[in-house]
Amino acid sequence: MQDALNPGTPNPPAQVPLPPLRRELRSWTRDLAVSLGLAIVVMIFLYQPVKVEGTSMNPLLSDQERIFINKFIYRFEPIERGDVVVFWYPLDRSKSFIKRVVGLPGETVEIRMGRVYINGEDLTDQFVPSTYLDGSNYTPRKIPDSEYFVMGDHRDSSNDSRVFGPVQRQFIYGKAVFAYWPVDHFGSLAPTSTVNAASK
């Protein structure tokens, strides 16, 4: 049995293959759109741009500098000494602060003439210039569980745990990871040195 044909209906035209350059451009455009979409999703859900206000984290961060914070990193790894963290200000939860973690839960922190001691041992803060140290004292105090002692790198110009006490873990919501503005500060915010205090 033969299929019926309508002689009044013309055969569909054969598809003309796209030129190689046009195919390549279409492929690049699709890949670029997918990459941008993924980047936007990552930026929205993993990273958050923030503007630094104040000078307490000089010289690492300057006033009005723009950085990215990772909002999910501490779901997968612990907070460590030397991390630059963003947290809700304990005395006013509508404000955010950015400081460096100096003391960990369970440790005893003490400050003598501006020098920080953890469990009685001198903390080597090589990322704090000597001109930014102050002569403050802080009597030995044990950091409660799930709390962190934070300080600004510009010690004589910082409102930090010396004033408002250790910060509860639940109020720390991000880690500073990357600076993007101004362009001369563009780059990673990974610690530039290690600290040599004992963690007993």
Which pLDDT tens digit goes with each residue over 24-75? 777 788 878 877 777 666 666 688 889 999 999 999 999 999 999 999 999 9
Residue 131 lies in a domain: yes
Residue 61 lies in a domain: yes
Residue 64 lies in a domain: yes
H or E element that contains 21: helix 20-45
**Residue 84 belongs to domain spanning:** 49-188
Domain total of the chain: 1
Residue 98 has pLDDT above 90, yes or no: yes
Residue 14 lies in a domain: no
Residue 35 lies in a domain: no
Which pLDDT tens digit goes with each residue over 145-181? 999 999 999 998 899 999 999 999 999 999 999 998 8
Residue 40 lies in a domain: no
Stretch 9-18: mean pLDDT: 58
CATH number of the domain where residue 175 is located: 2.10.109.10
Stretch 119-145: mean pLDDT: 90
Residues identified as active-site: 56, 99
Instruction: Write down the mean pLDDT value for the chain.
Output: 84
Residue 128 lies in a domain: yes
Residue 177 lies in a domain: yes
